[in-house]
Amino acid sequence: MNLADSEEMFAQLAARGFVQTDCLEQADVVLINTCTVRDHAEHKAVSFLGRLGAWKREKPGRRIIFAGCAAQRLGQQLKKQFPFLDLLSGAKEIEQFGDTLDESSLFPPAAPQGEILSPGLTGYVTIMRGCNFACTYCIVPSVRGPIKCLPVADILANVHRKVKAGAKEIMLLGQTVNAYKDGTCSFADLMNKTTEIPGVERVRFTSPHPIYFTPEFLSAVKDNPKIAKHVHMPAQSGSSKVLSEMKRGYTREILLEKIQELKAVGFQISTDLIVGFPTETEDDFNQTLSLVEQAGFSAAFCYKYSPRQGTPAAQMKLHPQNVLEQRLDILLNKVRSLAEDAYQAQIGSVQEVLMESPEKGRSSSNFWVQTKQAHPVGSIVRTEIEKADGTLLFARN
Ligand code: SF4
């Protein structure tokens, strides 16, 4: 989501005559787009901002913009701490970023047609902002606010722009992306409409919430070959007790039911898991291990619980670090070996691979595939899988 937001903000700067550079010394403006989901990410962004004080003093006229979730959460206190900071733009104001630049009088006026940053093969398209849940460990609802779905016409216009700039694959984005609705247009309708745009070869989405995977959604998308058969669905825990204390809105049983329904129509599923939530007992942790086995995830990102100031869970008593580390270690080992099994299970299958380099690409179900021959970047190659090694598949041609 931050990549998509950065592209959107860059388009506003490009409309005012700026071009992108990776070289700090060449830059006239630094835009720091921040994340605040984890404490560590926020610290890194703020300490980078602190180091930019010297950069700004080197040349008059240099400008610094601090944007995104950490800007929303920390607000004006950042201006007090870093008086050289020129502009703050919180996560709730990304759509008004152009107005923020104009009101500051620090930037030239916008040209009518802003240049779009080349998106590469994947065009990230935000379809909604905010979240209506209140998971007890999560800071997102307080910095991004409740759900706001973007109009379907604006989303499709954005997809057209991304395709024109070279994207082959479109990634639809939202905190609970499958809760999308605009009038009578559901998330499934939006997915199907996106695949109808000439030049779109594949559509992905992230992050969905399990409860919004309805049978209607599955029957609407299952036969559309342009919809990637992969879902990254955060489970967070395998214990119904912990899921309820996290206020996730589902039980282990509901989660497993959704996973079975998705698998029945050909989706591979990856997930996020948290170990060491404050109320997690040894038995709860073992239920997460058994969920991983039962669900057959193709991949899982595993995190130690870390408290976020201002969330209900931050008031709870923490587990000692060694307990968190031990549980993470056990979970990672299990996830690694099950992921290798998932790759082995693909041998003999036929996969459609979108080539991201001449000899490597990603299958519809999100496995990395190495081909024998070189293929044009951006082409879709239909090929049989010959062997698997760790987390890489090898194609017959
Ligand atoms: S669903 Fe829960 S974890 Fe995800 S963004 Fe919303 S509150 Fe946070």
pLDDT digits (tens, 9 = 90+) for 262-314: 999 999 999 999 999 999 999 999 999 999 999 999 999 999 999 998 899 99
- For residue 93, give its domain range: 2-104
Residue 375 lies in a domain: yes
Pick the last residue of a domain from 320, 342, 364.
342
Report the pLDDT value the prediction gives residue 37, as an integer from 0 to 100.
85
- 26 DSSP 8-state letter: G
DSSP, collapsed to helix, strand or coil, labels residue 148 as: strand
- Say how far apart CA 298 and CA 238 lie, in whole Å: 16
User: Do residues 140 and 64 both lie within one domain?
Assistant: no
φ/ψ bin of 166: left (φ > 0), alpha (ψ from -120 to 50), beta (otherwise): left
Quick one: pLDDT at residue 113?
Answer: 61
Instruction: Tell how far the Cα of 69 is from the centroid of ligand 1, in angstroms.
Output: 14
For 108-124, the pLDDT digits (tens) are: 988 766 555 566 899 99
pLDDT in tens, 185-241: 999 999 999 999 999 999 999 999 999 998 889 988 888 999 999 999 999 999 999
User: Does the structure show a pLDDT above 90 at 160?
Assistant: yes
Contacts of 168 (CB under 8 A, 6+ apart): 121, 122, 199, 200, 201, 202, 354, 378
Cβ–ligand 1 contact at 141 (below 6 Å): yes
User: Could you say which DSSP state residue 364 is in?
Assistant: T
pLDDT, tens digit (0-9, with 9 covering 90-100), for 341-361: 999 999 999 999 999 999 999
275 in ligand 1 pocket by Cβ < 6 Å? no
Angle at Cα 146 formed by Cα 145 and Cα 152, nearest 5°?
A: 115
Secondary structure letter of residue 262 according to DSSP: H
Least confident of 90-99, 171-180, 271-280, 311-320: 90-99
Q: To the nearest whole percent, how much of the chain has pLDDT over 70?
A: 98
Q: Are 116 and 161 in contact (CB under 8 A)?
A: yes
Mean pLDDT of 152-157: 96
For a pocket test of ligand 1, which of 37, 148, 175 has the largest count of ligand atoms closer than 8 A to its C-beta? 175
- Would 256 be classed as within a structural domain? no
Q: Is 176 in the pocket of ligand 1 (CB under 6 A)?
A: yes
Three-state DSSP class for 207? coil
Closest-lying ligand 1 atom to the alpha carbon of residue 139: 8
143 lines ligand 1 (CB under 6 A): no
pLDDT at 1: 87
Q: Round the average pLDDT of the chain to a whole number and report it.
A: 93
pLDDT level of residue 172 (50, 70, 90 thresholds): very high
Query: Distance between terminal CA atoms of the chain?
Result: 35
Whether 22 and 100 share a structural domain:
yes
- pLDDT for res 119: 63
How many CA atoms lie within 13 Å of 101's alpha carbon, on the beta-carbon side? Answer: 25
Share of residues in the chain with pLDDT > 90 (%)? 84
pLDDT for 183 equals: 94
Predicted local confidence at residue 216, as pLDDT: 85
The string of pLDDT tens digits covering residues 1-34 is: 888 899 889 989 999 999 999 899 999 999 999 9
DSSP 46-109: HHHHHHHHHHHHHSTT-EEEEEEHHHHHHTTHHHHH-TT--EEEEGGGGGGHHHHHHHHT-SPP
175 Cα–ligand 1 center, Å: 7
CATH number (domain holding residue 169): 3.30.750.210
* Residue-level pLDDT at 38: 84
- Mutate which of 69, 72, 73, 140 for ligand 1? The one with the most ligand atoms within 8 Å of its CB, which is 140
Domain count, the chain: 4
Q: What is the CATH number of the domain that holds 310?
A: 3.30.750.200
Residue 40 in this model has a pLDDT that exceeds 90: no
Centre of ligand 1 to C-alpha 211, Å, is 13
CA of 396 to the centre of ligand 1 (A): 41
CB of 133 within 6 A of ligand 1: the answer is yes
Q: pLDDT grade, residue 390 (50/70/90)?
A: confident
The pLDDT of residue 344: 94
Would 244 be classed as within a structural domain?
no
Cα–Cα distance measured from residue 120 to residue 117, given in angstroms and rounded to the nearest whole number: 9
Same domain, 320 and 360: no
Average pLDDT over residues 93-102: 92
- Do 73 and 155 have their domain in common? no
Q: Count of CB atoms within 10 A of residue 240's CB?
A: 17
- The residue whose CA has the least distance to atom 1 of ligand 1 is 133
Last residue of a domain, one of 342, 360, 382: 342
> Is residue 245 in a domain?
no
Q: Determine the 3-state secondary structure of 246 from DSSP.
A: helix
